[in-house]
Amino acid sequence: MNRMPASPLISRALQVGEQYLGMDELCRRLRATKESVLAWRTGMATMPQYKFLQLVDILTDLDPAWREWDANSKG
Rounded to an integer, what is the distance from CA 12 to the centroid of its chain? 6
pLDDT score of 4 more than 80? no
- Residue 26: CB atoms within 10 Å: 21
Q: pLDDT at position 72, please?
A: 62
Q: Which residues contact 9 (CB under 8 A, 6 or more apart)?
A: none
Q: Which CA distances in Å does 32 have to 37, 65, 74?
A: 7, 25, 33
pLDDT score of 26 more than 90? yes
Q: What are the boundaries of each domain within the chain?
A: 8-65
Rounded to an integer, what distance in angstroms lies between the CA atom of residue 26 and that of residue 3? 23
Domain 8-65, CATH 1.10.10 — does that match?
no
Q: Which pTM value belongs to this model?
A: 0.79
Band the pLDDT of 1: cuts 50, 70, 90: low
Q: pLDDT at position 28, please?
A: 98
